[in-house]
């Protein structure tokens, strides 16, 4: 995982722009890929979550409620740094 793309990055780069979203933060000590910082976000139109795993894995899920369609559902390994960057930018552009 790119150290610049983490929970703090999400809070400043994305969360601060989500005016119509309800946002919940969760932390789990022991998960499949180490500790887990999970952010769940929901609006009337879209919702989903982003998982920042302690071992560097990144998971992103985004659902369009109006179209009843999955937009993003991806889990990337720690060594897929460039794909992780692109995935986070894709999430940002779809919110």
Summarised one tens digit per residue, pLDDT across range 30-68 is 888 889 999 999 999 999 999 999 899 999 999 999 999
> 51 lies in a domain?
yes
Q: Which domain holds residue 27?
A: 7-94
**Phi, psi at residue 56, to the nearest 5°?**
100, -5
The answer to whether 39 touches 21, Cβ cutoff 8 Å, is no
What value does the mean pLDDT of the chain take?
90
> Against a cut of 0.85, is the pTM above it?
yes
Residue 86 lies in a domain: yes
Q: Report if residue 26 sits inside a domain.
A: yes
What total number of domains does the chain contain?
A: 1
pLDDT (average), residues 3-10: 68
Going by C-beta distance under 8 Å and a sequence separation of 6 or more, which residues neighbour residue 79? none
1 lies in some domain: no
């Amino acid at each position: 995982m790119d150290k610049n793309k983490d929970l703090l990055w999400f809070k400043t780069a994305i969360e601060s722009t989500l005016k119509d979203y309800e946002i919940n933060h969760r932390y789990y000590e022991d998960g499949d890929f180490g500790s887990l910082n999970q952010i769940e976000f929901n609006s009337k139109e879209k919702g989903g979550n982003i998982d920042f795993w302690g071992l560097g894995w990144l998971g992103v899920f985004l659902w369009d409620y109006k179209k009843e369609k999955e937009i993003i559902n991806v889990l990337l390994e720690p060594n897929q740094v460039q794909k992780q960057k692109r995935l986070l930018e894709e999430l940002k552009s779809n919110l």
